[in-house]
Chain A
Amino acid sequence: MSYGREDATIEPDFIEADTPMAGVAGVAGNEGGVSQDVSNRGTLDETVLETLKRDVVDINSRLKQVVYPHFPSLFSCWCNGASSNAASENNISANCDLWAPLAFIILYSLFVSHARSLFSSLFVSSWFILLVMALHLRLTKPHQKVSLISYISICGYCLFPQVLNALVSQLLLPLAFHIGKEHRWMVRVLSLSQLLVMALCLIWSVAAVSWVTQSKTVIEIYPLALCLFGMAWLSTVL
């Protein structure tokens, strides 16, 4: 019947979505190959765990592109690198997903709100901040052919340091507070380390977002930094 024909139309779609990931990450290559052979009908037949695993691997490979590389290559890129920027720029506009921003925002607002009623407002306002950042990038760079959605995706990836910040300053440091029995010097040290973590994560994410979107002047970077500072501040103080 028409089953075979449908099968033929779905399969290339799946391969197309899978191959860039296979090219990026070696682990994902094996994974993708196996799942292709086993399930001919895209993501419908595979187990949920498999899909989740694939998404996580995908997000991680994108994080490698967007957020990770700035530890070693940040200064060299600010000094001279234009070629590597161009390479990553191609990747930016090529594939964008909203899974990672969604995951990061959920994690962020979960950490910050302690799963209380604040969650929904944090969730909405995080998306709003992302939208503002993307709009700013879109408005200041009208000549780059990157759509609003992919800017949202990029900025969402750059929220990863903020998630770490929220995790550390909302979960790990309060644990240390409990262990430290609220001694005065303990409180001082932990508050200072909270501020320090916030500053580090803020610098990290601002550097990442400005590197990925190739914004060099203060005009372009400052609003992004302001938005990210808002999120970092929320996770520190709330």
Chain B
Amino acid sequence: MPSNNSSFLDIDDDLEGVDDFGNEPNPFDDATVPDSPNMNKPTTGKDGGFYSTMNNKSESAAPLQGQMDPPSYDQVIGENPNENSGRDELRPGLINYYSRYFQLDLTQFKKRLSGVLTFRNDHNNSEDSDNEADLYGAVWITATVVMINFTMNGGLTFIINNVIDGIRNGEDIDRASQFKKLLHSIWLFYGYTFGVPFITMQILKRDEHSERNRQFKSIPELISVYGYANLIWIPICVILNILDMSKRLRTVQAIQWAIVALGWAQSSYFLNSQMLNNNNNDTQESVKSSVSIIVVVTLHALFCLLFRFIIF
């Protein structure tokens, strides 16, 4: 065949001769098979090989039969969404690829939340089975923090003025500052939660004590750690917003600083415990601070300072 552009025609030509074989069931059933992408994929890469196998019929009959037997089309298509393992092969551009980071049930979620707040850093070690990364916490805990920052100030003002005092000050509310708060908390929190892990990942990889650190397999795992560390900012933002009502007093400012420092301590402790928890027993005795931990804590302190100065 000099002009071997369409394999379909070639096979038709070859199948003329198949009639000679008596034991062949019905060769014209097979004639439609090479149209399917499943058949063409393994062979079209090397055209020469394809045609050579098609030329001698004794070889071509066997793979064709083998491929015809299962209802290949439906099975392959139907299998992928149902199997959990099939999702690993999805490309990162698809929505379904990311949906695996959002699959978690309530008990698991509660367990993780309580693990953040109760200083149990050996919590995740015991169950490596469901220690998968989820971005759900990172996205929605951060969203809650942002929403609290946005609504609480205005809400408290509204309640105090309109409901308790009974004075309507519709035009006096400082809406610009509210929206500034919203925008600043969005970029600050989401930027920190989803941006800084890329830096931290590189640092953790290049650390000389890297055997001590937990081996993060992927960026989403680290992002989820950072996202759950944001949990402490929910109560802190509530308290800070309440304190913010009487900002003039110096003691209130000092208390705000103290609370932010508390939040920094708790969340950086959580981050450290998550990053070190690979071999927990060894690291407890050698508390020598490695470079990566220092960098992480410093970045976190920077974030807290920004939080204090920009948002409040």
- On A, residues with C-beta under 8 Å from B are 135-136, 138-140, 142-143, 148, 174, 177, 182, 184-185, 187-188, 191-192, 195, 217-219, 222-223, 226, 229-230, 233, 236-238
Contact = CB atoms under 8 A, between A and B. Distances in A.
Given A192-B163, A230-B147, A139 B98 contact: yes
Given A226-B143, A229-B147, A142 B96 contact: yes
B158 A237 contact: yes
Interface stretch (B99-107, B245-253, B255-263): B99-107
Interface string B134-165: 00100110011001001100110010001100
Contact of B151 (A177, A191, A217, A233): A233
Contacts of B99: 138-140, 142
Nearest to B168: A187
B167 interface: yes
A135 B135 CA distance: 13
22 contacts: A136-B102, A139-B99, A140-B99, A142-B96, A142-B99, A142-B100, A148-B95, A184-B166, A187-B168, A191-B168, A217-B106, A219-B105, A219-B106, A219-B109, A219-B136, A223-B139, A223-B140, A223-B143, A230-B147, A230-B151, A233-B150, A237-B173
Nearest to B87: A142
| Most chain B beta-carbon contacts within 10 A, residue among A139, A148, A184, A217 | A139
Contact of A140 (B81, B103, B144, B175): B103
Nearest to A140: B102
A182 B170 CA distance: 11
Given A142-B81, A229-B147, A187 B95 contact: no
Which bracket fits the contact residues of B? 20 to 34
Contact of A143 (B81, B101, B136, B166): B81
A147 B311 CA distance: 38
Secondary structure at the A interface, as helix, strand, loop or mixed, is: helix
A172 to B, nearest CB: 15
Given A140-B99, A142-B96, A219-B109, A188 B163 contact: yes
B175 A238 contact: yes
Nearest to B144: A226
A213 to B, nearest CB: 14
B95 A226 contact: no
Contacts of A218: 106
Nearest to A183: B166
A13 B246 CA distance: 65
A184 B167 contact: yes
Contacts of B163: 188, 191-192, 195
A188 B166 contact: yes
A238 B170 CA distance: 9
A191 to B, nearest CB: 4
A222 B140 contact: yes
B166 A185 contact: yes
B166 A237 contact: no
Q: Give the top 8 A-B pairs by smallest Cβ distance, nearest first.
A: A184-B166, A191-B162, A142-B99, A139-B102, A187-B168, A139-B99, A188-B166, A187-B166
A116 to B, nearest CB: 12
A226 B136 CA distance: 14
In this complex, the member of B96, B109, B158, B166 whose beta carbon has the largest number of chain A beta carbons within 10 angstroms is B166
A177 B105 CA distance: 47
Interface string B112-153: 000000000000000000000000100110011001001100
Given A148-B95, A184-B167, A223-B140, 10 more contacts: A138-B95, A185-B166, A217-B106, A218-B106, A219-B104, A219-B136, A226-B143, A230-B151, A237-B155, A237-B173
